[in-house]
Amino acid sequence: MTFARPDHISDLDMIPRMPAWVTTTHAETLEDVAFLSGAALDHLHLVLSRVDLPHALLRDRLALRAAEACVAFFGRPERAGELRDAVHLLRPGDLPGPAGETYLAWRRAAERPVSIKALGRALPGFEPGQIAGWLDTGQGMPVARAAMVLEAVLTDAPHAEMAALILAEAALAQVLDWDHVVPLLAAGLNRADLRKQGDDLRLACHRALISSVAEAVRLAADLARRAAHLKAVAPKLRAKKSGDAVEMFLTRDAVAPGALPMPDRAARRLCDRLVDLGAVRELTGRSTFRLYGV
């Protein structure tokens, strides 16, 4: 599949919505569903080509969605808020717990360009040669290749659902010539899908991508608008290191004031100022241990 790549698009109003027929067309056969998922990926590829998109922020927020789906596969109760707390409120020496480890794995998988080393950092329980072997599984079109990798990992390691999904996303990115993992499959699949094989698994992956890509495109448009507003108000900030703080907000799903490169009191004031300017949101609804994000 060949994707067109625009030379330069900077008008936020030009971020296109997913064509309605992609998500509303009723398709049953593998061929028809594959056509729809291909159209969805083509559309997302154009969106990801934009220079005005906060790519790292989008991947980090999609990583949160993927982690939320994975902990649900494991029957755990944690959702987005608890996952953020488990990672962003960690103190030196603390352990993130199983749910936090899941979120950290997805963040690590998406934050660096796809490579065996980066994937090994996300999945330290597996040897680099094992990861490379799984990624070399199969050939063919993007979704078929991702499904083959997913099936291969789960055949060798039936309880390694998260690793299988991360490596399937990596295979998808490689075939699409994306530099980074863009978490999509996990949020659209369910645990029963992961027990499927062959054409049934490919069909499930195509369906998962149709819904997940539509959500990713909506999220990309929203984050692009929010990031543009944050950049617009940044010159109004007078605090020392405020530029570095803004850059953190533009690349991370959530930020604790204590993580900002300034004294705690100044960091809290900066966060309050950004909330007043409508540039970031307080994500927890708490009066203490707050987290902020675009």
79-90 confidence digits (pLDDT tens):
999 999 999 999
Contact status, residue 237 vs residue 272, Cβ threshold 8 Å? no
Work out how many domains the chain is built from and give that number: 2
Average pLDDT score, the chain: 93
Which residue, among 1, 34, 45, has the nearest Cα to 202 in the 3D structure? 34
Q: Within this chain, do residues 51 and 129 fall inside the same structural domain, yes or no?
A: yes
CA angle (173 as vertex; 172, 176 as ends), nearest 5: 85
Q: Within this chain, do residues 82 and 189 fall inside the same structural domain, yes or no?
A: yes
For 249-266, the pLDDT digits (tens) are: 999 999 999 999 999 999
Indicate the pTM of the whole model: 0.93
Q: Of 175, 201, 223, which closes a domain?
A: 223
Indicate if the pLDDT at residue 50 is higher than 50.
Answer: yes
pLDDT band at 6 (very low <50, low <70, confident <90, very high): very low
> Is 38 inside a domain boundary?
yes
> Is 21 inside a domain boundary?
no
> Is 2 inside a domain boundary?
no
> Is 172 inside a domain boundary?
yes
Question: Helix (H, G, I), strand (E, B), or coil: what is residue 46?
Answer: helix
> Is 95 inside a domain boundary?
yes
Indicate if the pLDDT at residue 248 is higher than 50.
Answer: yes
Distance CA(238)–CA(63), nearest Å, equals 32
Distance CA(171)–CA(150), nearest Å, equals 9
Torsion of CA 254, 259, 262, 264, to 10 degrees: 100
> Is 228 inside a domain boundary?
no
Q: Of 189, 223, 257, which closes a domain?
A: 223
> Is 122 inside a domain boundary?
yes
Residue 13 is predicted with a pLDDT of 54
- DSSP-assigned letters across all residues of 44-57: HHHHHT-TTS-HHH
> Is 46 inside a domain boundary?
yes
Distance CA(182)–CA(76), nearest Å, equals 24
For 143-180, the pLDDT digits (tens) are: 999 999 999 999 999 999 999 999 999 999 999 999 99
**Residues spanned by the domain of 284:** 237-293
Indicate if the pLDDT at residue 9 is higher than 50.
Answer: no
Residue 97 is predicted with a pLDDT of 94
Indicate if the pLDDT at residue 103 is higher than 60.
Answer: yes
For 223-243, the pLDDT digits (tens) are: 999 999 999 999 999 889 999
% of the chain surpassing 90 pLDDT:
87
> Burial, 105: exposed, middle or buried (Cβ in 10 Å; 0-12, 13-18, 19+)?
buried
Provide Rg for the chain, Cα atoms: 19
Measure CA of the first residue to CA of the last residue in the chain; give whole Å: 34
Tokens at 44, concatenated: 């997302």
